Amino acid sequence: MTADVALLGIRHHGPGSARAVAAALERWRPDAVLIEGPPEADGIVHLAAGNGLVPPVALLAHAVDDPARAAFWPYAEFSPEWVAIRYGVERELPVRFIDLPAGYGLGPAPEAGETGEPGEPAGPVADPLALLAEAAGYDDPERWWEDVVEHRAPGADGGDDPDGLAPFAAVAEAMAALRAEGLGESRRDDLREAYMRQQIRAARRAGHRRIAVVCGAFHVPALAVLPTVAHDRALLAGLPRKVRTDITWVPWTHRRLSQSTGYGAGVQSPGWYHHLFGTEGDPVPRWLTRAAELLRAEDHPVSSAHVIEAVRLARTLAVLRGRPLAGLTETLDAVRAVLCEGSDVALELVRDRLVVGDALGEVPDAAPAVPLQRDLTRWQRTLRLKPEAAPKDLDLDLRKDTDAARSRLLHRLRLLGVDWGVPARSAVNSTGTFRESWRLCWQPEFAVRIAEAAQWGTTVEEAATGKAVGTARAAGELAELTGLVETCLLAGLAGALPAVMRVLADCAALDTDVAHLAGALPALVRALRYGDVRGTDHGALGEVATGLADRICVGLPPACVGLDAEGAAAMRGRLDEVHGAIGLLGSAARPEPDASDAAEGPDALDESAGPGTPAASPGPAGSESPAGSEGLADRWAAALRSLARREPAGGPATGAPGLLRGRAVRLLLDDGRLDSEEAAGRLRLVLSTANAPADAAGWIEGFLTGGGALLLHDPRLLALLDEWLTGVPGEVFTDVLPLLRRTFAGLEAGVRSTIGGRVAAGPLGEAPAARTPGGTLDRARADAAVPVVALLLGARPRIPRQAAGRNT
C-alpha cells in the first residue's frame, strides 16, 4: 500500500472479498478504479451502469479472424471485480482493466492450456489458498477461507480500521510470505504483473491521486513495490504477436461457474455464495427455509419444525467442530439428517438447485454483438423462446405456425453447432409426424459458436443455408449428404436444397458401395415423410430415393457374399433400415389425411417403423398406390429371396453369412411373401447336417431377431430347432453356444419362459392338445361382450346373426 494506491487483494468469486472491497471503496473513496481483466473491455465497462447488465455475466473476447479462439472472464454478483465495476460506473469514475490484453493469448499458437485464460500454462499450478490452509492446519481450503474471511463481517472493527484496508494488508502479508518461498509463481504471472505495473504508472501520470487496484491476492506483493520502467519493458518485450480481437458481454450461469474450467471458475457452491453475499446477519436460517420450500415443491414432507431443528443442528455442529459460524458443510449435514431424513437423493436435489443453482444473466441490447446474434435474439422474442439455464422440455405441434417456426429455428441452430435444443422423447404418446419434442438448455459457450457461425451469414436462415451448402461441398460420404438433406428439410432451408441435392445426385451416381447406399436411403425416406406435414416440395427427393432403392435391390445379394462376422452384423442393421425405408417409400408419396382429421390412435403412421413392420399398410378399398411403389416392393422382395438362397456351398467365402440369410427369410415371412411351410423348409435345410453349426446358429439369430413368438405359433419350427440343437456334436456346441445365448437373450421374457415350458413338456412335433371345455358356452353373454372387445381392438363390431335376429 502507498499513499496514492490501495491494493485490494481478493479471491475471485469470493463473497467475503466482495463485501470487504465494497467497504474499503466506500471508506477510502478512490478517484480511479483499476481491475484485473482484459483492457479491451474498457470501452464496454459503462454498460454495467443501470439494470441492463444482470450478473452472472462474462466478458467474451475472441480473435476476429478465428472466433473459435476465445476466452471468458465471468463475474457473478458476489465477485469482487463486479462490486468494483459497479462502484466505479455508478459514480462515473474512470474504470480500467489492467491485466495482459487478451490479444496476446489468442494467437494461432497460444500458450493457453485448458483453463480458458489466454496463455495460462497447461500444467498444474499451486493454489495459494490451499497452501495457506495447509499451513493453518486445515485439510479443506474452502473451509479455511470461510472461517477466516466469509464468517467475519467487514467493518465490525471500524474504529481500528478507518479506511477498511486492514483485511487486505493481512492477506498481502500472507501472500508475500508464500512468494518469498517461490511458491506458485510462473513466467506467465511475471508478464501479467509487469503489464499491471505499467498501467498503475499510467494512472498516476493521468493525475489520479487515490487509485484502487482490485486484483488477485497473489499479485499484490509484486505490485506493492514498483521496479524500474526499463525492467518491466524488458519483460514485456518477449510477448507473442498480438492478434486483433473483439470483446463483448455475454450471459453466464452459476452452473458454468461451478465447473473447473475457465478463468476464475471452479467455484464449488455459487448458489451458496450468492446467498451469503445477499443476506444480512446469519444466513443459515434463511437458506434452510429455501431448502424446505424446494423440498416441499418436490412433494417431500418438510415442516417448519424441520427447519427449526435443522438450524439448531447446524449451529451445534459448528460448535463441536470449532468453527465461528455454521458453514456449508454443517448446513448440508443438517439438511441430510433432518430435512431429507438421510436420503442422498433429496440432498442431491438441494445441492443442484440451491448450492449450485441455475441463475442466468442478462445482457442489454446495447452490448456489442454480431448481426447473427441480434437476429437470433429477435427470433427468440418473436417466438417467445427465452434462453434459460435450467433444462426445459418443449412439445411442438407442427400444424401450428408458431410451433413450426420454433422447430425450424432449433433445427437451424443445430446445423450451426448451437445445440440449444436437442430432440427428446416426448411424454405425449404420439406416432404422428406432426409432433416434435425438444429439451432446451442454454449454455454460455453458445456465444462463441454464434460468433464463429457469423462467417456464414448475418441472419440465422442465411447462416444455416451457407453452412449447409459448405458442408455439402465438403462431404465425403453419401450418408452424410442424405442426413444433411433431411436437416435442410426440417430447418426449412429451401435455398440450400438445390445445391445440396446436386451434390447428392452426383455422389449417388458415383458411389457403388451398397453399404453406403443402404446407409443413405433411410434419411431420404424420412425427409419425404417430413415434407408432407411441413409443406415442402419433395419431387427431386423422391426420384433420388427411388433410384437409390433400385440400386440397392440390384446390388444387395452380391454385396453380402463373403462378409465376416463384424461385417455381417453391420449389414444386418442396414438391411433392417432399408426394409423399413422401402416400406415407407410408397406411403410417403400418398397424401396424408388432413391434419384436422388426423387422430393419434391405432391407425396413425409409425415414424419409427422398423424390421418386422409390414412394408406398407393396405389402404381403403378403391385407393390407388403411387405408380411404381408396388413394383419397388416386389423388386425388394426378389432381392431378399436371392439373398436367402445364397448358401455357402463352397465355403463361407462363396455365400452370404447365415445371419443375413436368416434375416432375409424372416423379413419375407413377416411381409407375407413367404408362407410358414416354405419358412419351415428353409429352416430344415439350414439345420441339416450338411451345414456348419456356426452358420446355422447365425441363421437362427437372424431369423429370430425382432421377436420369437413365431416359434410358439408354429410348433414345427420349434421342433426343428430343438432337434438340431440336441444333435450338435459336443466339440462344436461350445463354439455355437455364445451365438445361441445372445439370440435367445434378445427374446421377450414371456416368450423365453413359454418356449422353456413347451420344451420341458414335449413332444414338440405336434400342436398342444386342445383343452376339454369346462362348461357350456353362454352365447348371449358372449355376444354382449363383442362391442367392448371390438372397441378395444379398434375394429368394427360384427353382430352375430342370432343377435341381429333377436334385435329385429
The most confident of the ranges 385-394, 478-487, 579-588, 738-747 is 385-394
pLDDT at 740: 77
Provide the pairing of β-strand 435-440 with 392-397.
Answer: antiparallel
Query: Where do we find the cell 456334436?
Result: 729
State residue 106's pLDDT score: 85
Q: CA separation (Å) from 291 to 151, 152, 173? A: 21, 24, 39
Specify the higher pLDDT residue, 453 or 531: 453
Q: By mean pLDDT, which of 173-177, 297-301, 415-419 is the weakest?
A: 173-177
Q: Which helix (H) or strand (E) holds 72?
A: strand 70-75
Full strand arrangement of the beta sheet holding 421-423: 392-397, 435-440, 421-423
Q: How do strand 421-423 and strand 435-440 relate by DSSP bridges?
A: antiparallel
CA 234/CA 238 separation, integer angstroms? 8
Cell 525492467 sits on residue? 231
Q: Using CA atoms, how far apart are residues 103 and 528, in angstroms rounded to an integer?
A: 48
Whether the predicted pLDDT of 771 surpasses 90 = no
**pLDDT-derived band at 606, boundaries 50, 70, 90:** very low
> What is the reported pLDDT for 532?
47
154-160 LR contacts (CB < 8 Å, sep 24+): 154/16, 154/19, 154/20, 154/22, 154/23, 155/23
Output the CA–CA distances (angstroms, integers) from residue 208 to 4, 7, 85, 211, 780, in the order listed.
8, 15, 17, 7, 104
* pLDDT value, residue 805: 47
Q: What is the pLDDT of residues 487-537, one digit of tens each?
A: 888 898 888 888 888 888 888 777 778 888 888 888 778 777 655 445 455
- Residue 122: how many CB atoms within 10 A of its CB? 10
**pLDDT score of 383:** 94
Q: What share of the chain is helix, strand, coil (3-state, %, to 5)?
A: 55, 5, 35
Give the model confidence (pLDDT) of 53-91 as tens digits.
999 999 999 988 888 888 899 999 999 999 999 999 999
Percent of the chain with pLDDT over 90: 32
d(CA 396, CA 434): 8
pLDDT per residue as tens digits for the range 307-328: 999 999 999 999 998 888 888 9
- Look at residues 173, 154, 162, 144 and name the one whose alpha carbon lies nearest to residue 9: 173
User: Grid coordinates standing for 435?
Assistant: 409432433
Question: Is the confidence at residue 739, as pLDDT, over 80?
Answer: no
The residue ranking higher by pLDDT, 752 or 441, is 441
Residue 569's Cβ-side half-sphere holds a number of Cα atoms within 13 Å equal to 5
**Most confident among 342-351, 419-428, 588-597 (mean pLDDT):** 342-351
Cell of 242: 498480438
What residue type is 740 in one-letter code? L
What mean pLDDT value characterizes the chain? 80
Q: In b/e form, how buried is each residue of 742-776, taking b as 16+ CB within 10 angstroms?
A: ebbeebeeebeebbeebbeeeebeeeeeeeeeeee
Entry pTM = 0.68
Q: Any alpha helices (H) in 687-778, and if so which ranges?
A: 693-704, 710-713, 715-727, 730-745, 749-761
